[in-house]
A and B are shown apart, each in its own frame.
Chain A
């Protein structure tokens, strides 16, 4: 087990390095650079040149990448080219916000999705099953910004229950935070529940066709008990994978929701940094996102192994 974890972590580091090259090349390919993105139409050739030399943008790309990689290997992610602030300092409040939002949404969405999915499997084909399938399909098909706007329209503008801005600051107390971020969290919950719920339902039903389930029924067990006690544990592996995928999405894919609710998360920072070609910040955001994916997938694999006695005790 430990060997597996070490192996996966090592592979993860290599993946991160590959990602950093891709991100760097990607930002280099984009036309324009930081100087022209900042100065826009008040740029003169002199002011552009001055800014480029000040930022070191006049050196070849390979030199800049090498320098960045050397520093990053020593744990120094560098300074934002634009604001001159330490990247870690710039990133960490945003990362906290992103993790908070993702965790908040996951705490609601994961149990909800699994419970809804199990119930749909128990009452397969019934009115409840169809209804929940229909509603979740609807929420997953509607773009998330529209879900956000609909929530704002009814819960914020009309009823006045929740604020439309989730502009939290590092000083905001946790209870206020939970209240301020309620609408973005609901938006995310509506978007991710469908996927996890349908996967739970499908994998449980898949197991339900096995002979040992029939045996359980023949023993005279009630349906809910068969589903929860006999089918669900064996259906866990694919469910865990889908949950991991959705958690990763909650961390890396919520930039639209951040924009709609003006939530200062990592996605917004990365979009800003990309449009301004602020490479150290783009790199750092990209690495955080890649790391989140790699870690979550690793945890999902490990949990899947733990949930399966045959894999837990290989012969």
Chain B
């Protein structure tokens, strides 16, 4: 994405004000005419008023016959989008990147940020008629704690205790302070179900829709929940999801008008779709990033200079171009995206530099073979990425080999086991959370075996720090440490790219996940 388009997107998402946008666009040398056209298109988006009614038809990739309405089992788009149609969460991750109230009306952070008081919304009823209260919230949180198969178990490990204060108030105690805990609550697994609910074939929630038909891996139909509580949301009469895992079939369905919106538009086709006068692409820069994680305690990756040689020896621009057709941004070997308010913009950008690579290789005292274990199970294009790295690094005099691993059992047998492996991160809503899960002192998925006392201490301190300025300085420092000493290579961040026909309104870009962070069923409407 060019700097200017990026700015436009940021302005559209509400992260950059009109004034700031004008100023920064001028600084980039954009002509006044261009800037005003851009502003026009952005503001036209904002000016639309929602219309009630209609059935929104979605064609989504990321579904499987193993899908279930049990939130602890979700890993992919179809269930995230369908689940968000059935349930509501406690806290929503807002368009501007800040947490906003959902079923938790407001919250209070005790000094030290280790105790949180959540005030729950009153008068909300589940689709089975039960009134939502503290017991439901506690039960729903506990689904991700202790003995659980939940995908959010890692994030909820910090929760020490959840207590009911009264029918509409709970307190959550954490092992250590975390000023960003509200972001943990925005996790898409963290949906509210009635206390004691176990029959997932009959989901009960407080979402905008009730379940009509659900055939895992095939389709999901929901009809309007007449008692939906959220103001200014839930415009549609029905939602109709067809699982279309094949990329081309998804685009075909959009082009022939059989669905109104699709997710994961193949970047190579995105520009073609964008040229179709009836269609629009929705693009959001976000935290999804590719990584090659080297284990810092295993030879040859225990040699800091060799790691630096590799970091300078790969061509990130080329990877963004080849893998994402430009729908992405280069990474700088830490997991914080440019869109994050805590992004450290002062770090020197790693880019292909044969001289630097050779310099560090010489300093490292030789060029042992670096074997990248790659599989498209990690993400589509992982093998290509490794091959591109091999090509550019070899030009810089490094010895790199690509070992193609089978997709079956990749996450079980290769990931977290091999010393140099391709992988990805979907990103996290808060910078501290992302840093904790992959690099923190008790990170559940420490791919690079990153253990650094200074980093850990700083991370814990930054999490508990409520003063914005101090906090920012700490998080900048954390990124700098990973940038200089980390063993994880972050070549590229990928944008979320959806497509829809122009009859769809309210389908806005969100850096968190595709389809408006899964909230499309809640937020979108049909113009006619």
Which residues of A are at the interface with B, using a C-beta cutoff of 8 A? 30-44, 46-48, 50-51, 54, 80, 82-84, 90, 93, 149, 152, 156-157, 160, 163-165, 167, 169, 259-262, 264, 268-269, 272-273, 275-276, 278, 281
**A90–B217 alpha-carbon span in the complex (Å):** 11
B62-114 interface with A by 8 A CB criterion:
64-68, 73, 75
Asked whether B216 lies within 8 Å of A39 as measured between CB atoms, the reply is no
Asked whether A31 lies within 8 Å of B64 as measured between CB atoms, the reply is no
Complex partner residue of B252 from A31, A39, A48, A157, CB under 8 angstroms: A157
Asked whether A44 lies within 8 Å of B154 as measured between CB atoms, the reply is yes
Indicate with 1 or 0, residue by residue over B127-156, a CB within 8 angstroms of chain A CB atoms: 000000000000000000001111111100
Q: Which of B20-28, B358-366, B395-403, B411-419 contacts A (4 or more CB under 8 A)?
A: B411-419
**A54–B148 alpha-carbon span in the complex (Å):** 10
Q: Which of B116-124, B241-249, B483-491 contacts A (4 or more CB under 8 A)?
A: B241-249
Q: A256 — nearest CB in chain B belongs to which residue?
A: B246
**A41–B244 alpha-carbon span in the complex (Å):** 22
> How near does chain A come to B57, taking the closest CB pair, in angstroms?
10
Asked whether A31 lies within 8 Å of B255 as measured between CB atoms, the reply is no
Q: Does B29 contact A (CB under 8 A)?
A: no
Asked whether B411 lies within 8 Å of A278 as measured between CB atoms, the reply is no
Complex partner residue of A32 from B75, B149, B249, B412, CB under 8 angstroms: B412
Q: Does B165 contact A (CB under 8 A)?
A: no
In the assembled complex, which residues on chain A have CB atoms less than 8 Å from the CB atom of B65? 80, 82-83, 90, 269, 272-273, 276, 278, 281
Q: A167 — nearest CB in chain B belongs to which residue?
A: B242
- Given A38-B75, A50-B147, CB of A163 within 8 Å of CB of B66: no
In the assembled complex, which residues on chain B have CB atoms less than 8 Å from the CB atom of A47? 148-151, 153
In the assembled complex, which residues on chain A have CB atoms less than 8 Å from the CB atom of B149? 35, 39, 47-48, 50-51, 54
> How near does chain A come to B447, taking the closest CB pair, in angstroms?
9
B190-237 interface with A by 8 A CB criterion:
213, 215-219
Q: Does B17 contact A (CB under 8 A)?
A: no
Asked whether B151 lies within 8 Å of A42 as measured between CB atoms, the reply is yes
**A39–B148 alpha-carbon span in the complex (Å):** 12
Q: B74 — nearest CB in chain A belongs to which residue?
A: A42
29 contacts between A and B (CB under 8 A): A30-B408, A31-B406, A31-B408, A32-B411, A32-B412, A32-B413, A33-B409, A36-B409, A36-B411, A42-B152, A46-B153, A47-B150, A50-B148, A83-B68, A84-B68, A90-B65, A152-B252, A160-B256, A164-B255, A164-B256, A164-B258, A165-B253, A165-B259, A167-B218, A169-B213, A169-B215, A259-B249, A262-B242, A278-B65
Complex partner residue of B412 from A33, A42, A93, CB under 8 angstroms: A33
> How near does chain A come to B206, taking the closest CB pair, in angstroms?
24
Q: B72 — nearest CB in chain A belongs to which residue?
A: A47
Asked whether A39 lies within 8 Å of B242 as measured between CB atoms, the reply is no
**A31–B154 alpha-carbon span in the complex (Å):** 24
Q: Does B444 contact A (CB under 8 A)?
A: yes
Complex partner residue of B411 from A41, A259, A276, CB under 8 angstroms: A41
Asked whether A31 lies within 8 Å of B409 as measured between CB atoms, the reply is yes
**A167–B252 alpha-carbon span in the complex (Å):** 13
Complex partner residue of A169 from B148, B153, B219, B406, CB under 8 angstroms: B219
Q: Does B423 contact A (CB under 8 A)?
A: yes
Asked whether B66 lies within 8 Å of A264 as measured between CB atoms, the reply is no
Q: Does B476 contact A (CB under 8 A)?
A: no
**A262–B244 alpha-carbon span in the complex (Å):** 6
**A37–B153 alpha-carbon span in the complex (Å):** 17
Asked whether A42 lies within 8 Å of B154 as measured between CB atoms, the reply is yes
- Given A42-B75, A82-B66, A164-B258, CB of A260 within 8 Å of CB of B409: no
Q: A30 — nearest CB in chain B belongs to which residue?
A: B408
> How near does chain A come to B161, taking the closest CB pair, in angstroms?
19
Interface core residue of B219, B243, B258, B408 (most chain A CB under 10 Å)? B408
Complex partner residue of B249 from A41, A80, A157, A165, CB under 8 angstroms: A165
